[in-house]
A and B are shown apart, each in its own frame.
Chain A
């Protein structure tokens, strides 16, 4: 019964997102793809955030995902979107597992700064690597869908549909995880690590798993961005401002619900696109002002609007 209803919910959510993709003009579907990709990364940050951890280095995993897609195409000629996404996600998770061994032992500002440091190491390496285009980056192979190789707008629509499927699965999976015993340990660890240890649980191990989950989601987000944009370079994929943007969107969204990151990321992309279009020289100020307003009036992010409406009824 339960499993059936979950499956139904996943299908309905995917159908809705897919319908939106068909209805939207080409440019908007592209924007939405980028927003959903960003939302995946922010969903990972939500998992950490609820544990009281802020990572300022998600670009490390995001970049790993993006560059994995690029390099697999470049060196091995792999173009299948499923294979590329899976490998990129697994690689990002593996990197997260490795740096997580150290990260999981730190908290607060030390966790944030250490994650930032790790991501800047990758940035430094990529900038110095001539074979990968150094600061210019390189173009990513056009993905194929089980041998089908669409062009132009159809291609963008296919990438969007694949993204929508991933997003629905990720949101469902994370929601399920958050309600599990392991997921519920987030608030417990945030509140009192001593008690968690005395309940017989290794806090470091639980945090390590959360770092890996967040890393995998960031890797998937990076892979999708690489497909959609068709290009990867160090500044767009791994620079610290990219990580900062993810944190920005997390604050904007709030961590109350797994849907919040996607709503927040969409709003972010919309504000940025329109700000660049209408005030090309001061668009950062527009973004900054919006964040300031959110922090002032909705300290728990956009999602608190939904919670408030729910309470009024």
Chain B
């Protein structure tokens, strides 16, 4: 049995079909890279799996259980967490307090209202995460003042505070400079690998996809057009036309080179 399985997921907003009959099956410990042009339905898919959007049709099975009707909270407690394209962090408090809160509430569904948050074991756990994600120098700083790349890391680290079995990363390197991308992905993927979590990450950079994905799923116009090993998918003619080939279309009109085609 697959760990996570989407069956015929469809989502329409009025006359727009954001996702059309998406079926995909994810096994334990896979690292799946998701590619596709903007508007191909990648984030819609993640939003449906995490309960933020309810599909118009289809179902999501997690360990055989139908989680389609569950709320994001319930899905979090089941063991599926996510990060966001725009980091969702607490800007007015320090980085270590962000992590402490995430760790504190992950301890149980009954949130303590008397026991102090600053327990030694939680602070120890926060320090471990800070070290693992190489955030030492930002520990006491207000998160609102930190660079995008750091907030992206924090966003992922906070999602991981729940010790999920599946984590969905929505463009973990968007808004980060090209030079920083590989560094951030190395840190993230290293940390995730240690926990044995199953990963699904959305990414536009094909080099990153090829390097970190054990499997690649390509989206176009709301459906999956290819699914397989990175080599297979990245060489697929349809994928090259719909996803990677975007740059080729622009060549006749613009001045951009087609060097990466």
A residues with CB within 8 A of B: 176-177, 179-185, 187-188, 190-192, 194-195, 197-202, 206, 209
Contact = CB atoms under 8 A, between A and B. Distances in A.
B209 to A, nearest CB: 25
Given A198-B72, A198-B82, A199-B106, A184 B88 contact: no
A209 B111 CA distance: 11
A181 B73 contact: no
A201 B114 CA distance: 17
Interface in B99-131: 100-102, 104-107, 109, 111-118
Contacts of A191: 89-93
Contact of B91 (A177, A185, A192, A199): A192
B159 A200 contact: no
A200 B112 CA distance: 14
A198 B159 contact: yes
B72 A180 contact: no
Tell me the dominant secondary structure on chain B's binding face.
loop
A181 B104 contact: yes
Contacts of A209: 113
A266 to B, nearest CB: 28
B234 interface: no
Interface range on chain B (Cβ under 8 Å from partner): 35 or more
Given A181-B101, A184-B97, A184-B101, A198 B116 contact: no
B9 to A, nearest CB: 20
Tell me the dominant secondary structure on chain A's binding face.
helix
Given A192-B89, A197-B73, A198-B81, A181 B161 contact: no
Given A182-B113, A183-B113, A206-B111, A200 B76 contact: yes
Given A199-B106, A202-B73, A185 B101 contact: yes
Contacts of B101: 181, 184-185, 188, 199
Contacts of B93: 187-188, 191
B114 to A, nearest CB: 6
B158 interface: yes
B88 A195 contact: yes
23 contacts: A176-B114, A177-B113, A180-B116, A180-B117, A181-B111, A181-B112, A181-B113, A183-B113, A184-B101, A187-B92, A187-B93, A187-B97, A191-B89, A191-B91, A192-B88, A192-B90, A192-B91, A195-B89, A198-B72, A198-B73, A199-B76, A200-B73, A206-B111
A194 B88 contact: yes
A188 B90 contact: yes
B50 interface: yes
Contacts of B100: 184
Contacts of A190: 92
Contacts of A198: 50, 72-73, 76, 81-82, 88, 159
Contacts of A202: 73
A234 to B, nearest CB: 34
A200 B101 CA distance: 12
A288 B116 CA distance: 39
Interface string B140-160: 000000000000000000110
A200 B90 contact: no
A90 B101 CA distance: 30
B50 to A, nearest CB: 7
Contacts of B11: none
A199 B162 contact: yes
Contact of B104 (A177, A184, A194): A184
B188 to A, nearest CB: 17
A191 B76 CA distance: 20
B106 A200 contact: yes
A176 B112 CA distance: 11
Q: Which of B73, B84, B100, B106 has the most CB of A within 10 A?
A: B73
Q: Which of A177, A190, A200 has the most CB of B within 10 A?
A: A200
Nearest to B84: A194
A107 to B, nearest CB: 16
A297 to B, nearest CB: 23
B116 to A, nearest CB: 5
